[in-house]
Chains A and B, each alone.
Chain A
Amino acid sequence: MAQEIKDNDERDDAVVENNRREVERAASQGPDEISDREIEARAKRALDGDREQGIRRSAARDHDDRKYHDRGDRNGGGSNRALIGLGLGLATAGAAAFFFAKSREDDIGDGPLLSDAPDHVLRGKALQKARNTEPGTALVGRTVTVNKPKQELYAVWRDFTRFPEFMDNVRQITKIDEQRSEWLIEAPAGATVQVRTRIVEDEPGNTIAWVSEPDSQIETAGRVEFADAPPGRGTYVRLVMRYTPPAGTLGRMVAKVMQREPQVQARRDLNRFKSLMETGEIATNASPSGRKSESPTEARV
C-alpha cells in the first residue's frame, strides 16, 4: 500500500532494487504467455533510444533527485527485465511521491496574491499574506454543495440549538438571546467545557459569523457562508473556523479534541449537515458485526 512507502531516498532505492529482483525471479519461474511476451517486447521497443532517456529524465525531474540519472545509466544497458523493474520502481516511487512529497516552497515574490481561492487553501508564503490572518491562530475551512436553496440552509444554521444534531463534539446549545448562545462541548474523560458565543455578522441567506466571548474557556471563531451553486445544484456552504491556542489545562484538553484534526472536524460536521438537509437523516453504518464490543444501533468507525 502506498502508505507503507516512505518518501525517502533509501527506501526508493530499495523499492527499485526489489522490483528488479522480483521481475528476474518471476522470469525464471513459469511459462510466459506469448501475448504478454509481445506486450513486453513492444514496451521495450517503445522504451528504446531517445524515449528511454526522455522517460528517465522526466522521472528524475519529477523527483528532483539526481540519483535516478545514475541508476538509469547503471541499468540502461541491462536486460529488458531490469528496465521494466526500473519502470515499476519509478512508478511505485512516483505514487509515494504523489502522496507524501513535501510541497516545495516556491518563491512567489512580493506582489499581491493571484489565486482566486479562499484563504484556507493558501500554503507556504502565500498563507502569510492571507487577508485577515492573525498571528497564532489556526485557520481551517471546507466547502460542500448542498442540494437545497440557501435561504432554507441559512434558516437551519441560524438556529444554533440544532448544532448538536450534526456537530460531533457539541453536546448542547442553549440560546441566551438572539445573538448569544451557551455551548456545552465534550472534552476527554467525560469532562465538559462551556463556551459563550456572540453573533457578529448576520446577513440573512448569506452569512453567519460568531466569536467566543472573552470569558470563555476556549477561544474560537466561526463563519458560515451560503452562495448559490451553478443553476440547479443548490448551494455552496462554506464553513471557516479559527482557533486560538488556549490557556489553562482544561482549555488545552478541549483544544486537543477540537483541534486534533480541525480540518477533519469541519469536513465531518459539514457532511453531516449536508446529509441532514438533503435526506432528513444522518447516514450511519450502525449494523451488526461479530465484534462483541459493538452494538447494532451505534455507528462504528
Chain B
Amino acid sequence: MRALTWHGRHDVRVDTVPDPEIVNPRDAIIKVTSTAICGSDLHLYDAYIPTLRAGDVLGHEFMGEVVEVGSKSTLKKGQRVVVPFTISCGQCFFCEKQQFSACDNSNPAETSDASEALMGHSMGAAFGYAHLTGGYAGGQAEYVRVPYSDVGPLVVPDGLEDDQVLFLSDILPTGYQGAFNADIEPGDTVAVWGCGPVGLFAIQSAFLLGAHRVIAIDHYPNRLKLAKEKGADILDYREVNVLDALKEMTGGIGPDAVIDCVGMESHGMAIDNVVDTVKAHTFLGTDRPHALRQMIIACRKGGKVSIPGVYGGFVDKFPIGALMEKGLQVKSGQTHMQRWMKPLLEHIQKGEIDTTWFISHHAPLEQAAEMYRHWHDEQNTYTKIVLKPEMAKSAQSTPSAARVIEPA
C-alpha cells in the first residue's frame, strides 16, 4: 500500500510499504477514506519528538471502512468508523477510570521502557507517533491495523460526511477536554493561546461549557478570523502586549482560565523563546514553552491552567513561583478519547459544534509530503488539511469550497 513515511527532519515521503495484517484477536484493519495532518505531526516533522525512526508511518487522525476483523473484534466488515488517535485496552485500571490515554497495556513491553525512564511511568500508545508511544504505524496510509478494535473505533451513523466526523479522531475531543479541564464556571473569561484546529475547538467547547467570554491569541490573521467567527474576542500578539491586553479586558483581574493550544513549539522572537530554540537544536533543552510561561503570568489568582498542547521533555525558567503564589490549578494530558467521542458525536448531530468551517484544503494522499511543507510553512492559509487516499493522484489540491479565505 501507499503510506506517508518519516525519514528525518523536514523529510517525509509517500512510499510503498507492506499492507497491515491482523495480528491479535481484537484487531481490525481499516481502509482509510480520510486522514488529516495535525499540529502534533509538526512536532515530528520538526524532529522535536525523540524515538521516531526512519521509515515510520505517520498519521493519527483517520477514519474509514472496516475491511478485516480479528476473531474478537466487535466490528463488522463494511462499517464506517472513526478511530481515536490513542490506543487503549479498555480493561486496565486507567481505562476503567476513563483515563484512556494513560492505558497501561497498549504500549508494548519492549517500547514502554523509554518513557518509564524519562517520565517515571510508561506512556499509553498512539498511532503514528514515535516509539516512545508504542511505535504503531499511523493512518496517513491506505490501510491501518487498529488494535483493541472493540473499544476504540466509533461507528459513524449514516448521513454524516467524513469531514463532519473525522475530527472526532483527535482535535475535537482534544479541544473539548482542554476546555473541560479549565473547570469553567458561569461568568468565566477563558483565554485560549493558539488558534490552530485544537484552539478553535477549545473556543467552541468553552462556550458550550458556559464560558462568559473567550479571548483567543495567535499571530496569523486568518486563524484569528476563524476564532472570531466562533464568537471569540481576538488578540494578535504582534499588535498588543498580551499581558496588558488581558488584564485590561478583564477589569484588572485576569482571565479565570487559560488554555495552552500551542504546545512545545511556541512562535515569536521573545528572548526566552529564542534561547529555547537554540537550546532545543543543540539538545540542551527540549521544549519551547514561551506561550505557557505567558499564560501562567496572565492567569488570575486562584485561576485554572489547562494544557492540551503537547510537551515532551524539559523546560527552563518555568514560573513556578507565580504558579504557587497565585494558587493556580493545572490540568493536562493526552486526550482521553473514548470518554468524549460519543457525546461529541451527539453535539455534531444536533448541530451544536461546527467541525468543517476551518478545513482549508483537501488533497490526495500522494501529495502528502507537499502538504506537510505547506502545513509547516504557510500556517496562515493552511488551517487544516485533509488527505484522501482515493482522490485521483493527479488531482490538484483544492482550497475547500467551504472556506475560501480572503486575504487579511
Write the residues of chain A forming the contact surface with B, with a CB cutoff of 8 angstroms: 1-2, 4-5, 15, 18-19, 22-23, 25-27, 29-40, 42-43, 46, 81, 84, 87-88, 91-92, 95, 145, 147, 233-234, 264, 267-269, 271-272, 274-275, 278-291, 294-297, 299-301
Stretch at the interface among B249-257, B312-320, B334-342: B312-320
9 further interface pairs, Cβ-Cβ under 8 Å (given A39-B243, A46-B321):
A5-B284, A19-B279, A26-B271, A30-B274, A35-B244, A36-B268, A43-B317, A289-B17, A301-B135
B57 contacts across to A, CB distance below 8 A:
287-290
Q: Is the CB of A38 within 8 A of B243?
A: yes
Partner of B109 from the list A19, A35, A87, A272 (CB cut-off 8 Å) is A272
Stretch at the interface among B23-31, B74-82, B184-192, B205-213: B23-31
A40 contacts across to B, CB distance below 8 A:
271-272
A30 to chain B, nearest CB (A): 4
The closest CB in chain B to the CB of A21 belongs to: B278
Complex A-B, nearest 4 residue pairs according to Cβ-Cβ distance, in ascending order: A290-B55, A36-B270, A287-B137, A268-B109
The verdict on B397 contacting chain A, using a C-beta distance below 8 Å, is no
Q: Is the CB of B317 within 8 A of A287?
A: no
The number of chain B residues with a CB under 8 A from chain A is 81
- Give Cα A39–Cα B109 distance, bound, in whole angstroms: 43
The verdict on B68 contacting chain A, using a C-beta distance below 8 Å, is no
B137 contacts across to A, CB distance below 8 A:
285, 287-289, 296
B24 contacts across to A, CB distance below 8 A:
281-284
B93 contacts across to A, CB distance below 8 A:
145, 147, 233-234
- Give Cα A253–Cα B335 distance, bound, in whole angstroms: 45
Q: Is the CB of B148 within 8 A of A288?
A: no
B326 to chain A, nearest CB (A): 13
The verdict on B72 contacting chain A, using a C-beta distance below 8 Å, is yes
- Give Cα A48–Cα B290 distance, bound, in whole angstroms: 22
- Give Cα A38–Cα B115 distance, bound, in whole angstroms: 36
Partner of A268 from the list B72, B110, B273 (CB cut-off 8 Å) is B110
Q: Is the CB of A35 within 8 A of B18?
A: no
- Give Cα A279–Cα B56 distance, bound, in whole angstroms: 26
- Give Cα A87–Cα B317 distance, bound, in whole angstroms: 8
- Give Cα A25–Cα B279 distance, bound, in whole angstroms: 12
Name the residue among A268, A280, A285 with the largest chain B CB count within 10 angstroms.
A285
Q: Give B258-300 as 1s and 0s: 1 = Cβ < 8 Å from A's Cβ atoms.
A: 0000000000111111110011001111100010011001000
Q: Is the CB of B242 within 8 A of A35?
A: yes
The closest CB in chain B to the CB of A34 belongs to: B241
Listed A/B pairs (20) with beta-carbon separation below 8 Å:
A1-B50, A18-B282, A30-B274, A33-B269, A36-B268, A36-B271, A87-B317, A91-B317, A92-B284, A147-B92, A147-B93, A268-B110, A278-B91, A279-B92, A283-B109, A284-B108, A288-B19, A289-B55, A289-B57, A291-B53
The verdict on B147 contacting chain A, using a C-beta distance below 8 Å, is yes
B33 contacts across to A, CB distance below 8 A:
none
- Give Cα A81–Cα B104 distance, bound, in whole angstroms: 44
Q: Is the CB of A92 within 8 A of B269?
A: no
The closest CB in chain A to the CB of B137 belongs to: A287
B297 contacts across to A, CB distance below 8 A:
39, 42
Q: Is the CB of B270 within 8 A of A300?
A: no
Partner of A275 from the list B3, B109, B270 (CB cut-off 8 Å) is B109
- Give Cα A91–Cα B318 distance, bound, in whole angstroms: 10
Interface of B is mostly: loop
B88 to chain A, nearest CB (A): 10
The closest CB in chain B to the CB of A148 belongs to: B91
Partner of B111 from the list A26, A274, A301 (CB cut-off 8 Å) is A301
B56 contacts across to A, CB distance below 8 A:
289-290
Q: Is the CB of A295 within 8 A of B105?
A: no
The closest CB in chain B to the CB of A4 belongs to: B283
A75 to chain B, nearest CB (A): 16
A290 contacts across to B, CB distance below 8 A:
3, 5, 7, 13, 15, 17, 54-57
The verdict on B134 contacting chain A, using a C-beta distance below 8 Å, is yes
Q: Is the CB of A285 within 8 A of B111?
A: yes
B207 to chain A, nearest CB (A): 26
B321 contacts across to A, CB distance below 8 A:
46
Name the residue among B54, B243, B275 with the largest chain A CB count within 10 angstroms.
B275
- Give Cα A205–Cα B268 distance, bound, in whole angstroms: 60
Q: Is the CB of B17 within 8 A of A19?
A: no
- Give Cα A264–Cα B111 distance, bound, in whole angstroms: 11
A207 to chain B, nearest CB (A): 23
Interface residues in B92-125 (C-beta closer than 8 Å to A): 92-93, 96, 104-113, 116, 118, 125
Given A5-B284, A284-B23, A290-B57, also A33-B237 (CB < 8 A):
yes
Given A2-B314, A281-B24, A291-B55, also A92-B285 (CB < 8 A):
yes
- Give Cα A88–Cα B237 distance, bound, in whole angstroms: 25
The verdict on B21 contacting chain A, using a C-beta distance below 8 Å, is yes
Q: Is the CB of A26 within 8 A of B23?
A: no
B110 to chain A, nearest CB (A): 4
The verdict on B145 contacting chain A, using a C-beta distance below 8 Å, is yes
Q: Give B141-173 as 1s and 0s: 1 = Cβ < 8 Å from A's Cβ atoms.
A: 100110110000000000000000000000000
- Give Cα A64–Cα B40 distance, bound, in whole angstroms: 40
The verdict on B221 contacting chain A, using a C-beta distance below 8 Å, is no
Q: Is the CB of B284 within 8 A of A18?
A: yes
Q: Is the CB of A296 within 8 A of B283?
A: no
Name the residue among A15, A37, A81, A301 with the largest chain B CB count within 10 angstroms.
A301
